[in-house]
């Protein structure tokens, strides 16, 4: 559907309705760079899932709020509520399967 960038100021607004996959990442993180194009592809394949990227270096309080200690961390929200979380690089098919199982 769409790939958005969030920060501490608009994070809550971005996750409050629908199904939202949040990618907690950092610019210096190798696995984060590897999963970025996969998330871009997935965002175009799913019309009912928004993908939000949140840089943990610029929004550490949000990362802390959700217990993110390692990146990339992917958290799936449904109407503002956390429903699933996964850690590390995910191949595209595994990521799609995880989304389908949890959305």
Dump pLDDT digits (tens) for 33-50.
999 999 999 999 998 999
Mean pLDDT, residues 80-86 taken together: 96
Report d(CA 7, CA 9) in Å as an integer. Answer: 5
Q: What is the CATH number of the domain that holds 85?
A: 3.40.30.10
Report, as residue numbers or ranges, the catalytic residues.
29, 32
pLDDT value at 82 more than 70 = yes
| Domains: count for the chain | 1
Task: Categorize the per-residue pLDDT at 74 as very low, low, confident or very high, splitting at 50, 70 and 90.
Answer: very high
Residues contacting 25, CB < 8 A, separation 6+: 32, 35, 36, 53, 54, 55, 56, 71, 72
80 is in which domain, residue-wise? Answer: 2-102
């Amino acid at each position: 559907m769409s790939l958005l960038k969030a920060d501490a100021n608009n994070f809550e607004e971005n996750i409050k309705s629908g199904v939202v996959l949040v990618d907690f990442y950092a610019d210096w993180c190798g696995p984060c760079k590897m999963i970025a194009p996969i998330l871009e592809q997935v965002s175009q394949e799913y019309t009912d899932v928004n993908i939000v990227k949140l840089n943990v270096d610029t929004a550490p309080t949000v990362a802390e709020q959700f217990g993110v200690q390692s990146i990339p961390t992917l958290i799936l929200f449904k109407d503002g509520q956390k429903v699933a979380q996964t850690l590390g690089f995910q191949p595209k098919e595994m990521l799609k399967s995880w989304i389908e199982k949890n959305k």
